Amino acid sequence: MIVHFEPASEEGIASVVRSAAAERVTLAIVGGGTRSGLGNPVRADRTLSTRRLSGIVTHNPAEMTMSALAGTPLAEIEAALAANGQMLSFEPMDHRPIFGTAGEPTIGGVFAANVSGPRRYVAGAARDSLLGVRFVNGRGELIKAGGRVMKNVTGLDLVKLMAGSYGTLGILTEVTFKVLPIPPAAATVVISGLNDAEAAAVMAEAMAQPVEVSGAAHLPESVRGRFIDGALPAGAATVLRLEGVPESVAMRAEKLVAALSRFGPGSQLDAGQTKMLWAEIRNVKPYADGTARPLWRVSVAPSAGHQLVAALRLQAGVDAFYDWQGGLVWLRMEAESEAELVRRYVRALGGGHATLVRADGEAHARIPAFEPQAAAVAQLSERVRASFDPARIFNPGRLAAA
């Protein structure tokens, strides 16, 4: 039987870790468990949950920062921020729809997996908002890094290292992050009927305009109807989000439509539709289909995204849509995961990061979820990991396939 720990304090966690390290007992670290499918399967002797380490520690709206215990539900954080007209600028994706998981995502899980959304390519990822952490390392020591100020270059930036380390370096106990005001107005410009290559060019053109596009996605005809209850105009939709004060959003939208009208018919979505659309893009709605069909999340240069899809289409059944100006490709395979093919083309197109986000149990166990690293980088990463968790007790297997 798997023993499950739920310490209610930092010291409780440290104490469990110290005994585990002494006895070489491995621990699976869990928060809300809604993203447990991310990464490679973990094989551990026991589980340790941060669930009881919950609550907002400080929220200073005037300083645009918040500190919260790692197990605090994301919903609680977002509600507290919204009550002050604030938000997490990196729009963390909700993985429940694509995984079919239940439960509440935690703020610790968000940062441990560096979960980000559409605004990431202009406002940064979760890691860019994270100012400070407290965590328990593999020796059972409580470590703090960073702080609560916006600029901090005091010593090595362990904060960045902890973001996206999937619980393999330490157990986050408290996170401090910066927040931004919710823009008072938002609109989306839609250019319709473009093919993937044309859309990439249009998105690049939009990003070159001084209009501060805060979301740039392309939704081909195969997925277009799945968004905002089918309300997008006919044809593939290239969508560009603008946010800010109302007068400014309206002016920038006009400017953008004028600049792009030579590429295809332009229209606009209002604030309500904009909110819904970008939440659905963030949560990968078209592929939240209740299946375990292979789903890839590929990060490449924006110019390479559509080339990757075009190359794959010649050899495999694949459906795709694009975020981050075309540099984030969500690929759903019709049958096999085609890992070898996907990774070969990513390399051929200048490199990037292909993550197998979802697959059936057999494929999930067999195919490394993350992009294999160059040998020198992998060795270096292993030494870094050993400096945090010498006994290798945290989340064994999560990052590197067993």
What DSSP state is assigned to residue 373? P
C-alpha–C-alpha distance, residues 225 and 350, integer Å: 32
Residues 25-54 that bind another protein (CB under 8 A): none
- Using rule CB under 8 A, residue 258 touches another protein: no
CA atoms within 13 A on the CB side of 352: 25
Residue 372: C-alpha distances to residues 77, 355, 366, 391 (Å): 34, 10, 14, 23
* Segment interacting with another protein (CB under 8 A) among 46-54, 73-81, 105-113, 161-169: 161-169
- C-beta separation of 104 from 96 below 8 A: no
- Using rule CB under 8 A, residue 144 touches another protein: yes
Q: Which of 36, 54, 214, 299 binds another protein (CB under 8 A)?
A: 299
- Using rule CB under 8 A, residue 167 touches another protein: no
Structure tokens at 137: 């390392």
* Segment interacting with another protein (CB under 8 A) among 29-37, 56-64, 189-197, 256-264: 56-64
- Using rule CB under 8 A, residue 262 touches another protein: no
Which residues lie closer than 8 Å to 60 by C-beta, 6 or more apart?
66
Q: Can you tell me which residue has the tokens 């869990």?
A: 30
Residues 185-244 that bind another protein (CB under 8 A): 201, 204, 207-210, 212, 244
Q: Which of 373, 392, 397, 401 binds another protein (CB under 8 A)?
A: 373
- C-beta separation of 13 from 53 below 8 A: yes
- Intra-chain end-to-end CA distance of the chain, in Å: 22
C-alpha–C-alpha distance, residues 38 and 74, integer Å: 18
- Using rule CB under 8 A, residue 15 touches another protein: no
Closest CB 185 distance from another protein, rounded Å: 11
- C-beta separation of 330 from 320 below 8 A: yes
* Segment interacting with another protein (CB under 8 A) among 17-25, 29-37, 58-66, 91-99: 58-66
- Using rule CB under 8 A, residue 1 touches another protein: no
Residues 307-366 that bind another protein (CB under 8 A): 324, 327-328, 350-353, 355
CA atoms within 13 A on the CB side of 347: 10
DSSP character string of 69-89: ETTSBHHHHHHHHHTTTEE-T
Closest CB 214 distance from another protein, rounded Å: 13
Nearer to another protein (CB atom), residue 128 or residue 289: 128
* Segment interacting with another protein (CB under 8 A) among 23-31, 93-101, 221-229, 375-383: 375-383
The residue type of 398 is R
Q: Which of 41, 103, 164, 193 binds another protein (CB under 8 A)?
A: 164
- C-beta separation of 95 from 101 below 8 A: yes
C-alpha–C-alpha distance, residues 68 and 31, integer Å: 14
Nearer to another protein (CB atom), residue 224 or residue 385: 385
Q: Which of 115, 169, 256, 342 binds another protein (CB under 8 A)?
A: 169
Q: Which of 9, 154, 195, 261 binds another protein (CB under 8 A)?
A: 154
* Segment interacting with another protein (CB under 8 A) among 40-48, 94-102, 285-293, 294-302: 294-302
- Using rule CB under 8 A, residue 64 touches another protein: yes
Closest CB 3 distance from another protein, rounded Å: 27
C-alpha–C-alpha distance, residues 41 and 217, integer Å: 31
Structure tokens at 373: 């690293």
Closest CB 244 distance from another protein, rounded Å: 7
Q: How far is CA 40 from the centre of its chain?
A: 16
Residues 78-107 that bind another protein (CB under 8 A): 85-86
Nearer to another protein (CB atom), residue 15 or residue 248: 248
Nearer to another protein (CB atom), residue 205 or residue 336: 205
CB atoms under 10 Å from CB of 2, counted, come to 8
Nearer to another protein (CB atom), residue 245 or residue 258: 245
C-alpha–C-alpha distance, residues 357 and 353, integer Å: 12
Q: Which of 75, 142, 292, 316 binds another protein (CB under 8 A)?
A: 142
Q: Which of 45, 78, 128, 336 binds another protein (CB under 8 A)?
A: 128
The residue type of 166 is Y
Number of residues that bind another protein (CB under 8 A): 86
Q: Helices (DSSP H) in 296-400: which residue ranges?
A: 305-313, 339-348, 361-366, 375-388
- Using rule CB under 8 A, residue 279 touches another protein: no
